[in-house]
């Protein structure tokens, strides 16, 4: 009996042990399944977050990246502006920005111009790759105007006319990158149609965007003559906006990759393929890992490449929030994964461009016509037409030079006015105090004198001087009408 009882007890213990073992295994399986479920759910959440919120290399969560690219000119002689903008688009797309978040303004009369030696192709450097392919045509032709530009920035869909209708739909977590390549003059940027982009109006739009919480941080790059005047003494430093300009408030920017310069454009092209400031940041961006390069580092590269330390060149200027200089460029323009092994110190992109390779934008139309004369056969209609155009341009410029001196004399009742042909404001001051006066005089100068952005409007600093002296606006408009005769 004892033995029988012991066997029964042993069987019971064995059964209990097996049960406990099986229970343990079951609990482990349940635990593993729960972990897998939690991991899958976490992955779903991560995927959702990755779609709407991207993480910087410092672990900081930020919103979507938006970009507005503007080529504010037209005509084949201004090839470089659209080339700059198309190049920027390709960098942004390779950097990971989505088409839905990139808005492009370009007149779109270059790629298929009869004068383009490579129809349907735009390049931004000699023997360069096509940068035109795939660029969205959001706003083209007459839709490239100041009203649409402001409406796009403010997210005002009802305010745009023509084009795709696409506007910024950014929010308080998002970053915005604005790149504007164009002709400029003191106090304004050009548009091919309608009103110019006035410094005061542009800055008011930026302030509205800040009040509307349309962004977290914003970076603005401007390629234009006298580009610094768009922000100097105007852009507030508490808007979380950083602006970098190709030139200060009183000097020209420069074109490059031009005919008969070094480095030259290919012989088939009769105009400049790029702008010095623009190709400096563009070529730097396409070589580097932007998650390892800060805005400050790119500023230093661009400053060296443009020769800003040399007196005869333009001086790259910064405005706005200094804090943003610490940010990595990936937060604004993305980064190409193929550049992951290229660090900031490995690139030769900061080598200064030869002074012999720089051409003032106001001389580029003359260079373009001279090239056409050189290439046309002697006695041909093409040569005669180009010679006539060059003569007309030079004559009109001479007339503008004489008219602005007469306008200053009549308005200010002075004879020695040569020192007033450019702005007399000191560094840190806005171009003008009375912007309404300035706008009225600029429009009158355009209307009555035929002043255009590629030359005549370089004298807007002189018009600003008249406003700053306090001369009656109507009196000055009468002086403009008297001094100018449009033929």
Catalytic positions, please? 183, 225
Q: How far is Cα 222 from Cα 69, in angstroms, rounded to an integer?
A: 10
* Rounded (5°) CA angle 52-57-59: 65
Q: Which helix (H) or strand (E) holds 281?
A: helix 276-285
Residue 173 burial (10 A CB sphere; 0-12, 13-18, 19+): middle
Residue carrying structure tokens 């300009």: 245
Q: How far is Cα 411 from Cα 255, in angstroms, rounded to an integer?
A: 35
Contact at 8 Å (CB) between 307 and 355? yes
23 Cβ partners below 8 Å, 6+ apart?
none
Q: How far is Cα 414 from Cα 249, in angstroms, rounded to an integer?
A: 25
- For residue 160, which of 138, 175, 179 has the smallest C-alpha distance? 138
- CA 52 distance to own-chain centroid: 24
Residue carrying structure tokens 């105009």: 271
Coil, helix or strand at residue 233: coil
Q: How far is Cα 456 from Cα 469, in angstroms, rounded to an integer?
A: 22
Contact at 8 Å (CB) between 203 and 241? no
DSSP, res 227: G
Structure tokens at 221: 């790059």
Residue carrying structure tokens 């920005």: 97
Coil, helix or strand at residue 351: coil
């Amino acid at each position: 009996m004892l033995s029988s009882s012991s066997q029964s007890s042993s069987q019971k213990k064995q059964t209990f042990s097996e049960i406990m073992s099986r229970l343990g295994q079951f609990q482990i399986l349940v635990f593993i399944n729960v972990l897998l479920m939690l991991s899958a759910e976490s992955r779903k959440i991560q995927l959702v977050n990755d779609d709407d919120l991207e993480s910087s290399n410092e672990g900081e969560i930020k919103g979507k990246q938006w970009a507005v690219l503007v080529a504010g000119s037209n005509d084949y002689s201004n090839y470089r502006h659209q080339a700059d903008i198309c190049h920027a688009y390709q960098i942004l797309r390779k950097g990971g920005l989505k088409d839905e978040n990139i808005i492009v303004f370009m007149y779109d009369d270059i790629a298929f111009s009869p004068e383009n030696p490579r129809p349907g192709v735009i390049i931004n450097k000699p023997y360069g790759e096509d940068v035109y392919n795939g660029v969205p045509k959001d706003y083209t032709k007459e839709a490239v105007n100041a009203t649409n530009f402001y409406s796009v920035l403010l997210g005002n869909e009802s305010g745009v006319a023509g084009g795709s209708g696409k506007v910024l739909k950014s929010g308080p977590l998002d970053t915005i990158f604005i790149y504007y390549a164009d002709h400029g003059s003191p106090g304004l940027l050009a548009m091919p149609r309608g009103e110019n982009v006035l410094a005061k109006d542009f800055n008011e739009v930026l302030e509205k965007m800040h009040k509307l919480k349309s962004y977290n941080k914003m970076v603005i790059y401007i390629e234009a003559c006298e580009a610094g005047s768009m922000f100097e003494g105007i852009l507030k430093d508490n808007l979380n906006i950083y602006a970098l300009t190709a030139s200060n408030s009183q000097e020209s920017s420069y074109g490059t990759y031009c005919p008969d310069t070094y480095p030259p454009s290919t012989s088939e092209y009769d105009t400049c393929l790029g702008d010095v400031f623009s190709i400096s940041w563009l070529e730097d961006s396409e070589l580097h890992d932007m998650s390892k390069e800060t805005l400050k580092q790119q500023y230093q590269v661009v400053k060296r490449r443009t020769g800003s330390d040399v007196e005869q060149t333009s001086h790259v200027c910064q405005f706005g929030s200094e804090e943003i200089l610490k940010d990595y460029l990936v937060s604004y323009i993305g980064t190409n994964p193929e550049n992951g092994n290229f660090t900031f110190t490995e690139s030769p992109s900061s080598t200064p461009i030869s002074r012999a390779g720089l051409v003032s934008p106001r001389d580029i139309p003359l260079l373009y016509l001279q090239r056409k004369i050189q290439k046309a056969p002697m006695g041909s209609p093409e040569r005669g037409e180009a010679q006539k155009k060059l003569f007309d341009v030079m004559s009109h410029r001479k007339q503008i030079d004489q008219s602005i001196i007469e306008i200053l004399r009549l308005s200010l009742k002075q004879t020695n006015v040569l020192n007033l042909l450019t702005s007399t404001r000191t560094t840190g001051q806005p171009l003008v105090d009375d912007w309404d006066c300035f706008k009225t005089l600029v429009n009158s100068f355009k209307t009555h004198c035929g002043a255009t952005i590629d030359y005549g409007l370089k004298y807007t600093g002189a018009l600003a001087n008249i406003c700053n002296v306090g001369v009656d606006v109507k009196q000055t408009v009468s002086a403009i009408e008297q001094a100018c005769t449009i033929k």
